[in-house]
Amino acid sequence: MDSGIQISDILIVTAIMFFIGVYGFVTRKNLIAVMMALELIINAAAINFIMINKLVFKTNLHGVFFGLFIIAVAAVEVAIGLVIILNLYRLRDSIDPEEITTLKH
Amino acid sequence: MNWSYTIWIPLLPLLSFVINGLFYGRMPKKMSGWLGTSALGISTLLSWVTAWKYFFNTPHQGPYEDITAWHTTWMHLTDRFTIDLGIYLDPISIMMLIVVTTVSFLVHLYSIGYMATEEGRNRYFAWLGLFSFSMLGLVLAPNLIQTYMFWELVGVSSFLLIGYYYDKPSAVKAALKAFIVTRFADGFFLIGILLYSYYSGSFLFEDINNIPAILESNGSLPVFMGLSALTWGLLLIFIGGAGKSAMFPLHIWLPDAMEGPTPVSALIHAATMVVAGVYLVARLFPAFHASDHGFALQIVAIVGTFSSLFAAIIAMTQMDIKRVLAFSTMSQIGYMMTGLGVSGIGEEGLGYTASMFHLFTHAAFKALLFLGAGALIHAVHSNSLKDMGSLRKYMPISHITFLIACLAISGIPPFAGFFSKDLILEAAFEKNKLIYAVGWITAGLTAFYMFRIYFMAFWGEDKVYAHKPHDPGITMTLPLIVLAIASALAGWLPFNEWVTSNHETLHTHFNIGSAAASVAIGLVGIIIAYILYKNPSMTPQKMSNRLGVVYQTVKNKFYVDEFYEGVTQQVILKRIATPIAWFDRHIVDGTMNLIGNTTVRISSIIKGIQSGDFQVYAFGILIAVIGLLVWLNYFIQ
């Protein structure tokens, strides 16, 4: 894989992905969009693991396996998250995060 | 000899109180009165039996013994400090037993008639039972703590009975006044008990009265302003006694206490509770006599003498028959205090015997006067002498008994008051001529004011009565007759053999000069009253007008009440209570409010942070992490 892709290129891309995710997580007014932003954050991390494994530690696969774990956990998390959002919608007729503030009590 | 049955003497009235109090509303109409009367009747019987056994039927040589009939440790606080209850029999406690149970029994009997139409009769008899129990517990107490407990209990029952007509504002006010004034004095009493007992190491009267032993075990006692701690303790105890016995300047509650039902005045405010102070001084007499060469006793004599004259002067001007009697009571208690104050111990203990004798006879004739006044009030429905006149035509029994009581209190032989009062004056004459002179003048004033009310009520002008007055029923006249017999004959009792300062027979000799002097002044008082009040005339009115300011001052009781009012209003409330209230409201409460308000204000500022909006939290985390990274990178080496 001498395609000329440098590790710094990957890091720039994932950093941009990560901060787009953070921005979305903080600003979106729809819980599903928030979940999507969360996916961006998780995947930015997963890409980092895999690419660093590929480019720096070429003799083992630890990073790749970690990436697989992250995908599995993210899938579970999305499933649970969507269930919660669905129930919330049934209860409140709304999935606006600004209205979901009762857990502070 | 077994004396343990004496426990029933106080317990029976308690039983009457409990039953009447618990079954208050569910009793047949007349039951409460008869229940209380029979309980007291048995107590009275037991007391007389006790007295008979103690004085006549106990083989003894030399002095009468002190008997602890019953005793228990009530509270075991520390090894040195226990609170005991017991029954202590000696000549004065047995004399008081007789006085309290007999008068209480007669008053119960009288009340059946007097209170017949009252709605709250059961409540009345319950409280009367409570009072009798407390008073008996007080006189039988073997130690100061029990004395103090029952002392407060009689205070409470007095408060309850004065305020019996609780829908009458003046009665409520009088009850409060009596309670607060006596409580004020009792505060000093408690301090005195604690101070005294701290140095004597015991509450028992036997130990307390043994001053040489106390001095021996303590080495030297602390001295304050030239008086030893024991004397200070006794003076404080005397303040308590003076409060209960209405001595100047703590007498202001007694005239107002006449707002209670008349039998209550007879029982509590004439015969028994108000003499508790005298009894207390007599109880502690050896201590009073020995401590600092009897300094405290001199104070007792001065206060007593002054109070007797002071009250007698006021009594001459009052128009309310019960108030005259109240001031007369205060005056006679002053005599008793004087008697104790001028007394010595042993062969010089004439004053002590005289004082106890006067307590005994006074209980008889003053209870009779009050019950007689009650009969008059019952008949004419008014306390005021202005509404009475020529009652001798309508109420012969009341008239005769009242006359006997008046003669007794005026010191005319052969009635009871003559003997006891004469003994007091004799004792005073030997000790201090000034005290004797004041007592002698007071005797004349006493005769005058007693016959003033006698002539105004029973002679004088024939009033028009709405209902024709008549003698009350048998339950009311019987006590009058019994007490009249007692008032007439009690003077012949050989008190000098029974009640003396060292429990041995005191040899007295009849002093004809002193007796003649006191009879003479008594007769002068009676004759003046006869001239002024026997026939309706304007002379008293003219005389009081001529005296002007002096008369007004006396009629208004020397403005002592106004003085207290002024002190409490202007000094205590305005200068002390108001600033303290301000401090409490603004500084103490202010501090607390500041703390509270600050917390509320801060929380209202920072509660926005806890919005519950997870996006805000996430943003916060982000900022914090970035801040942390910047700090770690650039500011930490």
pLDDT digits (tens, 9 = 90+) for B311-339: 998 888 888 888 888 999 999 999 899 98
Domain covering A7-92 assigned CATH 3.40.50.1000 in the classification = no
Residues in chain B within 8 Å Cβ distance of A104 = 610-612
Cβ atoms within 10 Å of B271's Cβ, excluding its own = 30
In a 3-state reduction of DSSP, which class is residue B243? helix
CB B337 within 8 A of CB B356: no
Tell me the per-residue pLDDT of B13-62, one tens digit each, with 9 for 90 and over.
Answer: 999 999 888 887 777 777 888 888 999 999 999 999 988 888 887 666 66
Contact B614 A97 (CB under 8 A): yes
Nearest residue on chain B to A99, judged by CA atoms? B613
- Please tell me which of the candidates B612, B618, B619 has its beta carbon nearest to residue A101: B612
- Provide, rounded to the nearest whole percent, the portion of chain A with pLDDT above 70: 96
| Contact residues, chain B to chain A, C-beta under 8 Å | 610-615, 618-619, 622
In a 3-state reduction of DSSP, which class is residue B234? helix
Contact B615 A101 (CB under 8 A): no
Chain A with chain B: Cβ pairs closer than 8 A: 27
Q: Minimal Cα–Cα distance from B623 to chain A, Å?
A: 11
Band of residue B1 on the pLDDT scale cut at 50, 70, 90: low
Would you call A100 an interface residue with chain B, using a CB distance cutoff of 8 Å?
A: yes
Total-model pTM:
0.78
- Please tell me which of the candidates B612, B615, B622 has its beta carbon nearest to residue A102: B612
Complex prediction ipTM: 0.85
Nearest residue on chain A to B607, judged by CA atoms? A104
Residues in chain B within 8 Å Cβ distance of A34 = 615
Among B313-322, B484-493, B528-537, the range scoring the smallest mean pLDDT is B528-537
The C-alpha atoms of residue B619 and residue A36 are separated, in whole angstroms, by: 17
pLDDT score, position B201: 78
- Mean pLDDT of all residues in B90-116: 89
Nearest residue on chain A to B616, judged by CA atoms? A26
Residues in chain A within 8 Å Cβ distance of B613 = 97-98, 100-101
Angle separating helix axes B416-431 and B474-489, nearest 10 degrees? 40
Contact B622 A98 (CB under 8 A): no
Run of H or E including B572 = none
User: Rg for chain B (alpha carbons), in Å?
Assistant: 30
Contact A101 B619 (CB under 8 A): no
The C-alpha atoms of residue B594 and residue B184 are separated, in whole angstroms, by: 37
For residue B558, is it left (φ>0), alpha (ψ between -120 and 50) or beta? Answer: left
Give the C-alpha distances (Å, rounded to integers) separating B70 from B86, B132, B148, B461. 5, 19, 18, 57
Domain ranges of chain A: 7-92
